Chains A and B, each alone.
Chain A
């Protein structure tokens, strides 16, 4: 009998019940909650007279609507404020393992605070009413986003109704060049398999490049698995995973710790396990990436040129290139390096952790943001990240270079708070989605790594970070 993949092991160890047609009830170990997708779920529970099955699995925090400056003024938009206050009162009623209300010292993006507090562990199932829950797969946890009805279902039953996915292995072997990061790997993978390439699959990322990445880099890759169409991206836990978790507040302690690590070590895919599909990339061939269009798969290496629809044979693809160029205000064949920017955003659950800020600060140090840039902002992923960065003096490096140093939150990743692009504005962003209007109506987003975003801020246009 063939061995099991990491995904098989995670799945099999959580099946509570299986129907004749393969539909399963999967036990959920961790439920992350934010203010936007949870209010109707809490209300549904109340209306049905139900209580959460296990409130001690909840980790909650407002992030989408919270402002990133002038915290003393509170939340000015009354509708945003109400959503945040509703989360407060809901958690007050049900209880939670962890709750960081607005302005709490540890508040941040839900996908940043989960891991940094040790509430995301290998072998777990993790859900959240948010598609970027895939981030937590970096720990060898089965983690994916769910809808509001499912949020209610998980709260009420501690289970999710689900069918098993197919298994896709994305293997990145060799070594990354200097200046090439996890974000570039993620974008290169999406460029290769497309935004629907992972549909119906759980992606396991493996290979030398993945093993060599830090936990933070692994989170960046798994974060973007959803942009490749996969609800879950996973990476086998190893010594680095354990080292990252050791001593974190909610990580196992004492005798439990050794037992946990021993268990985590059994989770890796067996040598004789079979995947439904395999995609391979060579690390050395990956250059810093920049998206040029309105889908993460519309991505090119920094030394590329914006595509020419006239060269595209496929009519559907041609139309989508034409539409993207029109929305993005770009001309075919323009070198990526000639694209000028208006705003720079460093943040989001993809790239707002301490390592991302360190990588950005290395490029920013002693330099100045180009005068043509209207706003360059750094939004740390959490209060803890912010304090760590300040202790290392990174905030000074950024502010001296002309960046704004903000309070943690989702911010301009989705522009639900006051941080947004105006129509026609062009932004180099370290977030994960370049959809039309994502960062503000009519706004134009180019996805890049933190180092590439800083290099673009200094030059006023995209440049190859390897040359600065």
Chain B
């Protein structure tokens, strides 16, 4: 997993409450055999005017120019501003896969659905919970200012606005540690590699037939 320490990135406001994972990545893309490559299909039904199918080349699909991701000023955005209960509905891990693959590393919202929230960490993304007041302010400023960028620092748990104003956010210490060090569960387990090898040695001596 990619480590996350600090990011100075363009923000993009997705102004709708209760966005579910079906909207984030529609069900037909679950047939895919991949964990990557979902970025072009992120918000597929909102983003394109035609019906998307897995494997489709998206470069020439008709774009819905009203949808915020399609506006040129948000091209290359890495920080998503979102509303409450973001990521509700089906538990599909394809949703964070799609958001991350598109290029987002941080989401700022007043609240998230549980499973989605945890899935973000598993995929190297930082979901920040901010108060309604802060989120409202960010939405307003972002929509009013082209090139609106935020500085997110995980070590100090702060977000700095272009005005220099700063707010802090909470994060579970283990999640912070794992994200700062780029540790996923596999990475953490591999910290016990010596123990696994030692176990394996004993196990092999006792039951050699388990080792072909």
What residues of chain A have their CB less than 8 Å away from a CB belonging to chain B? 16-17, 25, 27, 29, 39-40, 43-44, 47-48, 50, 53, 56, 79, 82-83, 86, 97, 121, 123-124, 148-149, 152-153, 156-159, 161, 250-252, 256-257, 259-260, 263
* Minimum Cβ distance to chain A for residue B112 (Å): 19
- Binary contact readout B179-212 vs A (1 if CB under 8 angstroms, 0 otherwise): 0000011100110110110011001001111111
- Binary contact readout B153-194 vs A (1 if CB under 8 angstroms, 0 otherwise): 000000000000000000000000000000011100110110
Which residues of the other chain, B, contact A152 by a CB distance below 8 angstroms? 186
Which residues of the other chain, B, contact A159 by a CB distance below 8 angstroms? 189, 192, 196
* Minimum Cβ distance to chain A for residue B187 (Å): 8
Which residues of the other chain, A, contact B190 by a CB distance below 8 angstroms? 156-157
In the complex the two chains form, is A97's CB within 8 Å of B189's CB?
no
Residue in A17, A156, A252, A259 whose CB lies within 8 Å of B192: A17
Residue in A29, A48, A153, A256 whose CB lies within 8 Å of B189: A153
Given A29-B210, A256-B208, A256-B209, do A157 and B31 touch, yes or no (CB 8 Å)?
no
Say yes or no for B45: interface residue by CB 8 A criterion: no
Residue of B whose beta carbon sits closest to that of A263: B207
* Minimum Cβ distance to chain B for residue A14 (Å): 8
CA distance A47 to B195 in the complex (A): 25
In the complex the two chains form, is B185's CB within 8 Å of A153's CB?
yes
Given A29-B210, A121-B210, do A161 and B34 touch, yes or no (CB 8 Å)?
no
CA distance A97 to B31 in the complex (A): 28
Given A27-B196, A149-B122, do A39 and B209 touch, yes or no (CB 8 Å)?
no
Which residues of the other chain, B, contact A250 by a CB distance below 8 angstroms? 212
Given A27-B199, A40-B34, do A153 and B186 touch, yes or no (CB 8 Å)?
yes
Please report whether the interface of chain B is mostly helix, strand, loop or mixed according to DSSP: helix
9 closest cross-chain pairs (CB), A and B: A252-B209, A39-B33, A40-B35, A157-B189, A16-B199, A256-B209, A156-B186, A86-B33, A43-B35
Which residues of the other chain, A, contact B208 by a CB distance below 8 angstroms? 256
Residue of B whose beta carbon sits closest to that of A43: B35
In the complex the two chains form, is A44's CB within 8 Å of B35's CB?
yes
* Minimum Cβ distance to chain B for residue A42 (Å): 9
Say yes or no for B20: interface residue by CB 8 A criterion: no
Say yes or no for B39: interface residue by CB 8 A criterion: no
In the complex the two chains form, is B34's CB within 8 Å of A25's CB?
no
Residue of B whose beta carbon sits closest to that of A27: B199
Residue in B54, B186, B207 whose CB lies within 8 Å of A157: B186
Given A79-B54, A97-B212, A159-B196, do A39 and B189 touch, yes or no (CB 8 Å)?
no
CA distance A260 to B122 in the complex (A): 40
In the complex the two chains form, is A83's CB within 8 Å of B33's CB?
yes
In the complex the two chains form, is A158's CB within 8 Å of B33's CB?
no
Residue of B whose beta carbon sits closest to that of A257: B209
Which residues of the other chain, A, contact B136 by a CB distance below 8 angstroms? none
Residue in A40, A83, A124 whose CB lies within 8 Å of B210: A124
* Minimum Cβ distance to chain A for residue B183 (Å): 11
In the complex the two chains form, is A47's CB within 8 Å of B207's CB?
no
CA distance A50 to B185 in the complex (A): 13
Which residues of the other chain, A, contact B36 by a CB distance below 8 angstroms? 43, 47
In the complex the two chains form, is A48's CB within 8 Å of B186's CB?
yes
Given A40-B35, A157-B196, A158-B196, do A48 and B1 touch, yes or no (CB 8 Å)?
yes
- Binary contact readout B32-59 vs A (1 if CB under 8 angstroms, 0 otherwise): 0111100000000000000000100000
* Minimum Cβ distance to chain A for residue B28 (Å): 10
